[in-house]
């Protein structure tokens, strides 16, 4: 899923159990194409309520 295809923060999706196909798909989507960064799944009462993706851009030594 490209950056332009990600839902905006304004449109919340329904919460999903941590092992539900929806939660696993969304976590997989967040990991897709990630070279440097992190994916964080926020769980409340056994349900994934939020997924955060932080992507970092590494500069080559010649670009610094």
Q: Quote the CA–CA distance of 20 and 26 in Å, as a whole number.
A: 10
Write phi, then psi, for 38 (nearest 5 degrees). -150, 155
Residue 64 lies in a domain: no
**What percent of the chain lies above the pLDDT cut of 70?**
78
Average pLDDT over residues 36-56: 95
Q: Look at residue 43 in the predicted model and tell me its pLDDT.
A: 94
In-domain check, residue 26:
yes
CA-closest candidate to residue 36, choices 60, 18, 19: 60
Under the banding of pLDDT at 50, 70 and 90, the label for residue 12 is low
Residue 63 falls inside a structural domain? no
**pLDDT for res 64:** 67
Number of domains in the chain: 1
Asked whether residue 44 is assigned to any structural domain, the reply reads yes
In a domain, 35, yes or no: yes
Q: What's the mean pLDDT in 25-50?
A: 94
Average pLDDT over residues 28-41: 96
| Dihedral over Cα of 21, 23, 24, 30: its sign | positive
CB atoms within 10 A of CB 2: 7
Containing structural domain, residue 8: 3-57
């Amino acid at each position: 899923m490209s950056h332009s295809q990600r839902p905006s923060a304004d449109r919340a999706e329904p919460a999903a159990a941590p092992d539900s196909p929806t939660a696993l798909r969304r976590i997989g989507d967040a990991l897709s194409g990630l070279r440097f960064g992190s994916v964080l799944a926020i769980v409340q009462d056994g349900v994934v309520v939020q997924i955060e993706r932080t992507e970092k851009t590494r500069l080559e030594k010649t670009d610094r």
